[in-house]
Chains A and B, each alone.
Chain A
Amino acid sequence: MDRRTRALYVERAVWPIGRGDRKFWISVMVLGALVAAGVYAWIYQVQHGLWVTGLNQKVSWGFYIINCVFFIGMSYGGAMTSAILRLTGAKWRAPLTRIAEATAVAALLVGAVYPIVDLGRPDRFLYILRYGQVGSPVVWDLVAVTSYAIASFVFLYLPLIPDLPVAKAALGARAGLLGRIYDALSLGWKGRPDQERALARGIGIMAVLIIPLAVSVHSVLAWLFAVTSRAEWHSTIFAPYFVLAAMFSGVAAVIIVVAALRKVYGLGEFIVAKHFRYLSYLLIALGAGYLYFMISEFLTDGYVFESGTTSGLQSLFIGQYAPEFWSFSVGGLLVPLVLAALPGRFPVARATVASVLVVAGMWLKRFLIVVPGMANPIMPWEWGQYQPTWVEITILVGSAAAIPLMLIVFFRFFPVMSVHELDEVEGRYEVSSRHRIPAYAPVYGAGDAGGGDD
């Protein structure tokens, strides 16, 4: 990459910083209003109790648990994408990792709130800490999600350190208090070899650690279902099934966010068709894996036809939940896979449309896991019914709006693409000590740079 292209890259990466144009404020207002509506619905629920939702005695898990699994899964995809690209040393990763990591944190923050919403009485959340039993999957979940959340924040923060001086430089004289915050957070980053080494070690540890952590989070979420005696849930395949589902929907979410930010921030010169093609390959591989798992699960259950699973399978394939099931199988799985796999024109649009279908389909799949699993009675009773109310729908819309809101606010303060990462993959540090100084970074003595031995 020549100096001019790099300068343009840096310019695009820091373009949103400190920029509050009309589009930004309108976006903030619209998304903020949706989030406020969601918060209002939640407060209404706290005031009146869970009876204002569609949850009932037979179907006591509904939208909230679906959304919890869905958003945490989305987060997982972001973290995994970034970690895999870093660990494999993919040279095309530079413009994507920051977006993937920020998406992971934003989706996790939204998903982690849902168990509290589902409690009805938020103050009872403390009971998990006071009376939690180590044998309870709810406690496992708390430990796994907390560990993953801390790791996600660290995984987002560490690669930001060398970009913070760039962000400060972008603000120039307007930096003020923000500049001091950037200074504090950047820990005095100068791009020295010893600093590079420390940073590379930290990011390396986190990239390795975030993968088993994310796997553990989704496995624990799966065990929350699988350790019950409900026929649809009590399955040994559930943990890897959930993990793959999370990766599948998460990569799709990253593609959507990348496509949206590419358009909004004008990153088309750096996030090109190649990126979407590679991400599509990942999507296809994960989708094919998920299809395999799904067939394996249904084949095993359907072949034996135990009394408990028969009614569940019947409701999915030809019964009450057949419209949702076939919508997911065809619209949310097969069509997107074909769309992403087909060669031809409009790779960005195709990848984005396929990802939107996958995200919608995977939400539907979580619905099909949670609701029929609950509605199918263990005792010989009638099937339960579940109809979400405006409260649950508003909270879903509000929480979904919170993710883009958090992202646009975040990228108003931090570079949307990693500048340091670009220099790393372009080998700038290894070429010459002269190039160690990012274009926007504060200038320091030329004799300080040292050898690029990292």
Chain B
Amino acid sequence: MTRALRILVPLVIVVISIVILEDGHIFPEPVHLQVPNGSLVAPPANGQGSQSGGTAAQQPAAAAAPNAAHLALSVHPSSNASHGYVVGAEVRTPEGAAAGDATVSFYEAVDFFGPREELLGTATTDSSGSASFTYLPATTGSHRIVARSSGIAKVASGQASETFTAAIAAPAYRDHVPAITAFYNLVPYGVGVVVLAVWLLIAFALIGTARGVARGAREQKEKGVIA
């Protein structure tokens, strides 16, 4: 019976292994993601996004309509240098009249997983058709600003862009570091020393015992030879 079981047990293990491996692979086959056509395309932007500020990325706008507003964009340094630049937009109807109450959205063209527009903020035109937005870029150098006005009565939306070179940029972000951080940073080293001490103690217990026992055995053997 015992002998039969000795044969049976490995046999069962082999059979189970074959069942497990029957489809020829243990690990999963590479998964190929099937992306439906168009599902990753961003919604068409028309410059009238619901955001009033922030960092939402937008796709470039569609071609302007025949009754599109005329939009002039200008960038000049703010009177307060630390505020950066004033991005001004002037919106006029196709006939040249000032277009008040139009919402102007300001974007910056960025390269973030491909060319995109980052929404910087929005402003509403006054009775003279002017709207402005104070912008402090994150970096110095060339920036391309795009402005889009919302459609108002009988006037479709319009857009304009302007490239300028920024000499002023926001100061680099610096996290506030609490004083205790310096102490916290030492903790891993302290713990590391304790862990090392523990490992050394384990090694000492094991190797020390092994050496002690083996030495005793050696001496015993030598004694035996002499005897």
Contact = CB atoms under 8 A, between A and B. Distances in A.
9 contacts: A36-B16, A49-B28, A147-B195, A158-B209, A188-B216, A194-B216, A202-B205, A203-B209, A205-B201
A55 to B, nearest CB: 17
Interface in B192-214: 195, 198-199, 201-202, 204-206, 208-214
B72 to A, nearest CB: 45
Contact of B223 (A21, A154, A157, A448): A448
Interface stretch (A26-34, A233-241, A372-380): A26-34
Interface of A: 20-22, 25-26, 28-29, 32-33, 36, 39-40, 43, 46-49, 134-135, 140, 143, 147, 150-151, 154, 157-158, 161, 186-190, 192, 194-195, 197-199, 201-203, 205-206, 209, 213, 444-445, 447-448
B202 A209 contact: yes
Q: Which 3 A-B pairs have the closest CB atoms?
A: A198-B212, A188-B217, A202-B209
A25 B213 contact: no
A36 B21 CA distance: 13
B165 interface: no
Nearest to A151: B202
A194 B13 contact: no
A32 B213 contact: no
A133 to B, nearest CB: 10
B218 A188 contact: yes
A135 B184 CA distance: 10
Interface stretch (B3-11, B75-83, B172-180): B3-11
A39 B13 CA distance: 12
B26 A43 contact: yes
Given A29-B12, A40-B16, A205 B204 contact: yes
Contacts of A28: 9
A197 B212 contact: yes
B45 interface: no
A316 B5 CA distance: 49
B188 A135 contact: yes
Contacts of B63: none
Contact of A190 (B13, B191, B201, B216): B216
Given A22-B2, A47-B27, 8 more contacts: A32-B13, A154-B202, A154-B205, A154-B206, A187-B214, A198-B216, A447-B227, A448-B224
Contacts of A25: 2, 5-6, 9
Interface string B14-27: 00100110000111
Contacts of A135: 188
B153 interface: no
Contacts of A49: 28
B20 A43 contact: yes
Given A36-B16, A43-B20, A190-B217, A147 B5 contact: no
B205 A143 contact: no
B209 A198 contact: yes
Contact of A20 (B6, B20, B188, B213): B6
B144 interface: no
Nearest to B216: A195
B182 interface: no
A191 B217 CA distance: 9
A47 B28 contact: yes
A189 B213 contact: yes
B212 A195 contact: yes
Contacts of A48: 28
B217 A189 contact: yes
Nearest to A122: B27
A150 B198 CA distance: 11
B27 A187 contact: no
B209 A161 contact: yes
A29 B2 contact: no
B198 A213 contact: yes
A50 B25 CA distance: 18
Nearest to B214: A187
A432 to B, nearest CB: 19
B12 A32 contact: yes
A164 B225 CA distance: 24
B1 interface: yes
Contact of A29 (B5, B191, B205, B206): B5
Contacts of A198: 208-209, 211-213, 215-216
Contacts of B215: 194, 198
B37 interface: no
A244 B208 CA distance: 32
Contacts of A26: 5
Given A25-B9, A29-B12, A206-B205, A147 B213 contact: no
Contacts of B218: 188
A187 B213 contact: yes
B34 interface: no
A134 B188 contact: yes
A202 B206 CA distance: 6
Nearest to A186: B213
B50 interface: no
Nearest to A204: B205
B99 to A, nearest CB: 43
A445 to B, nearest CB: 6
A377 B26 CA distance: 36
